[in-house]
């Protein structure tokens, strides 16, 4: 392998820049050329590349977002689009690539490899932590810290006014963020996509907390929670059934994806980048680099895509006990 391409694809996450830096510097270490591919697969199709050396990635380990930009490419989903991408890579003498992204990005890499025999490696970058084969995806830890910090602030105002807050956090399909920040910030209840705890239980829990003299309550709601009600509908529902509560809603939104990566994510990104490049040098392909029991380990992309990391049910129990 003489030249490796690196790109970020899908929703961005803190730590992506640190991972790009690691891929670029590992290439430099092994005296392999490295090209940055702008805007994920769309930039690949358009040949939007930049030559990167060890110094091009200075000062970015602490930066949120991704300097290579990210995109979701519809064109890459077509055979013609992928053919164009392949031609561009060949023209630029790139003979393998590392994609930092989530399951959609990995699916693209896998199809590309099957069609053209092109070596690919994946680094999981998403705040949702919804990928099998790694205990942590890049950005997840940072997001947990960001969200806990914000909920602490919401708690200040909630308790000053004796209010109940519904706080919506990201997590379309999985409740990792909701569960962890819920326990970490001392939420009353946590509503997640994986389990429907029932609205009656929510009312019961809120009744109990009023009786036990709590001055504020926070309920964390994952975007894709199972109750079928969004945070505003939940507010109306509680207003109707428990008029003694003064309810407010806070939707945290995309601020959860921004910010300087935590030390954990920077270290993880650095380790994953090294492993991705070394795997390609060793002639491996179609793998995702992950963290398993604090060791860097690879998982076939196919498995990472099909599986979905499971929530830790112990946290549900811990949360129940803590909100006694």
Spatial separation of the C-alpha atoms in residues 302 and 306, rounded to whole Å: 6
Residue 128 annotated in active site: yes
Stretch 148-187 residues interacting with ligand F6P (CB under 6 A): 170-172
201 Cβ contact list (under 8 Å, min separation 6): 189
Asked whether the beta carbons of 320 and 153 are under 8 A apart, the reply is no
Residue 103 in contact with ligand F6P, rule: CB under 6 A: no
Kindly state the smallest distance separating residue 125's Cβ from ligand F6P, in Å.
9
Q: Compute CA distances 204 → 50, 88, 142, 238, whole Å.
A: 58, 60, 33, 11
Name the maximum alpha-carbon separation found in the chain. Answer: 70
Which of 4, 45, 127, 144 binds ligand F6P (CB under 6 A)? It is: 127
Residue 133 in contact with ligand F6P, rule: CB under 6 A: no
Stretch 211-240 residues interacting with ligand F6P (CB under 6 A): 223
Output the known binding site for Mg(2+): 103
Residue 126 in contact with ligand F6P, rule: CB under 6 A: yes
Spatial separation of the C-alpha atoms in residues 249 and 205, rounded to whole Å: 18
Spatial separation of the C-alpha atoms in residues 273 and 146, rounded to whole Å: 24
Report the residue number, 33 or 168, with the smaller CB distance to ligand F6P: 168
Name the residue with tokens 């379309």: 172
What tokens appear for 309 in the block?
């990391």
Report the residue number, 33 or 223, with the smaller CB distance to ligand F6P: 223
Output the known binding site: 11, 21-25, 72-73, 102-105, 126-128, 155, 163, 170-172, 186-188, 214-216, 223, 248, 254-257
Kindly state the smallest distance separating residue 253's Cβ from ligand F6P, in Å.
9
Residue 128 in contact with ligand F6P, rule: CB under 6 A: yes
Which of 6, 7, 9, 11 binds ligand F6P (CB under 6 A)? It is: 11
Output the known binding site for ATP: 11, 72-73, 102-105
Kindly state the smallest distance separating residue 213's Cβ from ligand F6P, in Å.
35
Kindly state the smallest distance separating residue 20's Cβ from ligand F6P, in Å.
17
Find the catalytic residue in 12, 128, 130, 141.
128
Spatial separation of the C-alpha atoms in residues 180 and 128, rounded to whole Å: 12
**Residues 82-90: contacts with CB under 8 Å, at least 24 apart:** 82/111, 82/112, 82/115, 82/116, 84/45, 85/41, 85/44, 85/45, 85/112, 86/112, 86/115, 86/116, 86/118, 88/44, 88/45, 88/46, 88/47, 88/49, 89/5, 89/44, 89/118
Per CB under 6 A, the segment of 123-131, 150-158, 197-205, 285-293 that binds ligand F6P is 123-131
List residues binding ligand F6P (CB under 6 A): 11, 126-128, 170-172, 223, 257
Active-site residues, by number, are 128
């Amino acid at each position: 392998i003489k030249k490796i391409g690196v790109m970020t694809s899908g929703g961005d996450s803190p730590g992506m820049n640190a991972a790009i830096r690691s891929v670029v510097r590992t290439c430099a270490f092994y005296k392999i050329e490295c090209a940055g591919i702008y805007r994920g697969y769309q930039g690949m199709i358009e040949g939007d590349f930049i030559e990167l050396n060890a110094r091009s990635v200075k000062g970015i380990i602490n930066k949120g977002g991704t300097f290579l930009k990210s995109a979701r490419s519809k064109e890459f989903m077509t055979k013609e689009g992928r053919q164009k991408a392949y031609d561009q890579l060949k023209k630029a003498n790139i003979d393998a690539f590392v994609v930092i992204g989530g399951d959609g990005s990995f699916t693209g890499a896998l199809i590309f490899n099957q069609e053209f025999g092109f070596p690919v490696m994946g680094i999981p970058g998403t705040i949702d932590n919804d990928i099998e084969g790694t205990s942590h995806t890049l950005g997840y830890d940072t997001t947990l810290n960001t969200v806990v910090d914000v909920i602490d602030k919401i708690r200040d105002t909630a308790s000053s006014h004796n209010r109940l807050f519904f706080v919506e956090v990201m997590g379309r399909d999985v409740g990792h963020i909701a569960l962890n920040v819920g326990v970490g910030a001392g939420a009353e209840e946590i509503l997640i996509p994986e389990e429907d705890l029932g609205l009656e239980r929510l009312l019961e829990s809120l009744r109990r907390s009023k009786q036990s003299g709590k001055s504020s309550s926070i309920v964390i709601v994952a975007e894709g929670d199972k109750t079928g009600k969004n945070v505003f509908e939940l507010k109306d529902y509680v207003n109707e059934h428990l008029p003694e509560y003064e309810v407010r809603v806070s939707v945290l939104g995309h601020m959860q994806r921004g910010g300087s990566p935590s030390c954990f994510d920077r270290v993880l990104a650095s380790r994953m980048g090294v492993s991705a490049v070394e795997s390609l040098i060793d002639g491996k392909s179609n793998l995702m680099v992950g963290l398993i029991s604090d060791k860097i380990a690879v998982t076939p992309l196919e498995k990472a895509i099909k599986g979905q990391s499971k929530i830790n049910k112990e946290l549900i129990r811990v949360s129940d006990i803590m909100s006694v």
